[in-house]
């Protein structure tokens, strides 16, 4: 990647972080390594939580920390050859792995190599403008839920090297609204484009509660209100916001069932 392009991307991502200010939420914990960790609301996850984690690479510390702390099952997705080799060493029955990518439709896509061969992450959007690639099957989030028999997601992590925009657009159109949404905004785009994506998530009922580098943690507004530091300080205001957030947050079960009907 040329130096000028790297500088432009760094400026864009810094601007996005400065403008997209998170709303305070209590009970956030950071799980996983310094490289692969994320902030999540501990009170919103438990042993019944269904967690989808897209983008494994060679670091499953976040995945396994979810299992250890909450006793839940996690499903990880990554078609990268080195990721597939890495997860073969994981000995945890609640960790499930599928060598598929996430995309806006079910099809075979090219995953372009990083410019540094020592790096593991490949990109559908060819973030680093390279020539080498491999091909792999991809699925939208709702298609994976249908395949795995899940009606709701407690947590979805998207660390998918610039493909997050199309995946989020189709996910929302399909009526899938995970309670906790962890997104690495990695696309090579100007800050206003990323901010537009963040505003759209807020418009459909998400609150941005934490930003760390390019990692953004959202929770549904209803969940945020239940854990907000402002809860109880003004009963009338909170009640109004609860009603509004309930109206904004669609019923994912019914929408996913309609999506299922299109698959048959």
Q: What CATH number did the domain enclosing 66 receive?
A: 3.40.50.150
Residue 186 in tokens: 């990695």
Q: Find the mean pLDDT for residues 98-122.
A: 95
Antiparallel, parallel or unpaired: β 133-139 and 155-158: unpaired
Chain centroid, CA 178 distance in Å: 9
Sheet holding 180-184, edge to edge: 95-98, 73-77, 50-54, 155-158, 180-184, 215-220, 206-212
Say if residue 169's pLDDT is above 90. Answer: yes
Residue 91 pLDDT > 50: yes
E strands, 99-186, are: 101-102, 107-112, 133-139, 155-158, 180-184
Report, in angstroms and rounded to the nearest whole number, the Rg of the chain calculated over CA atoms: 18
With 0-12 / 13-18 / 19 or more C-beta atoms within 10 angstroms meaning exposed / middle / buried, residue 102 is buried
Query: Given a cut of 50, is residue 145 above it in pLDDT?
Result: yes
In this prediction, residue 256 carries a pLDDT of 46
Number of other CB atoms surrounding residue 108 within 10 Å: 10
**Chain-centre distance for alpha carbon 124:** 16
Predicted confidence (pLDDT) at residue 100 exceeds the cutoff of 90 = yes
Question: Does residue 74 register a pLDDT over 90?
Answer: yes
Q: What are the strands, taking DSSP E only, across 19-132?
A: 28-31, 38-41, 50-54, 73-77, 95-98, 101-102, 107-112
Please give the pLDDT value at position 247. 36
- Position 38 pLDDT exceeds 90: yes
**Highest mean pLDDT, choosing among 66-75, 217-226, 249-258:** 66-75
% of the chain surpassing 70 pLDDT: 81
Q: Are 151 and 145 in contact (CB under 8 A)?
A: yes
pLDDT band (50, 70, 90) for residue 248: very low
Beta bridge partners of 98: 77
> Residue 92 has what pLDDT?
97
- What phi and psi values does residue 48 have, to the nearest 5 degrees? -90, -5
Mean pLDDT over the full length of the chain: 85
Rounded CA gap, 262 and 264, in Å?
Answer: 6
Cα separation, 148 vs 119, in Å, equals 30
The strand pair at 215-220 and 180-184 is best described as antiparallel
- CB–CB of 55/98 below 8 Å? no
DSSP state of 188: S
Q: Is the pLDDT of residue 14 over 90?
A: no
What is this structure's pTM? 0.82
**Domain extent at residue 247:** 3-263
User: What separation in angstroms does the CA of 188 have from each of 96, 123, 124, 125, 156?
Assistant: 31, 11, 12, 9, 22
How many domains does the chain divide into? 1
Angle made by CA atoms 62, 222, 228, in degrees to the nearest 5:
75
CA nearest to 196, candidates 228, 164, 174: 164
């Amino acid at each position: 990647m040329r130096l000028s392009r790297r500088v432009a991307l760094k400026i864009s991502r810094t601007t996005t972080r400065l403008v997209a200010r998170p709303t305070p939420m209590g009970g956030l914990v950071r799980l996983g390594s310094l490289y692969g960790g994320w902030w999540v609301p501990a009170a919103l996850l438990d042993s019944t939580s269904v967690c989808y984690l897209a983008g494994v690479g060679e670091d499953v510390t976040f995945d396994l920390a979810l299992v250890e702390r909450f006793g839940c099952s996690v499903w990880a997705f990554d078609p990268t050859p080195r990721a597939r080799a890495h997860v073969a060493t994981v000995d945890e029955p609640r960790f499930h792995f599928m060598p598929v990518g996430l995309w806006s439709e079910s099809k075979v896509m090219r995953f372009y190599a990083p410019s540094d061969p020592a790096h593991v992450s490949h990109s559908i959007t060819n973030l680093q403008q390279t020539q080498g690639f491999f091909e792999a099957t991809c699925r939208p989030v709702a298609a994976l839920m249908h395949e795995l028999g899940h009606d709701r997601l407690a947590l979805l992590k998207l660390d998918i090297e610039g493909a997050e925009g199309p995946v989020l657009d189709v996910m929302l159109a399909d009526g899938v609204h995970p309670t906790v949404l962890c997104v690495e905004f990695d696309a090579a785009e100007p800050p206003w484009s990323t901010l537009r994506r963040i505003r759209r998530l807020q418009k459909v009922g998400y609150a941005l509660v934490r930003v760390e580098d390019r990692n953004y943690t959202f929770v549904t507004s209803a969940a945020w209100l239940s854990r907000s530091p402002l809860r109880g300080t003004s009963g009338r205001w909170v009640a109004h916001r609860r009603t509004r957030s309930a109206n904004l947050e669609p019923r994912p079960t019914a929408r996913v069932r309609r999506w299922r009907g299109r698959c048959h």
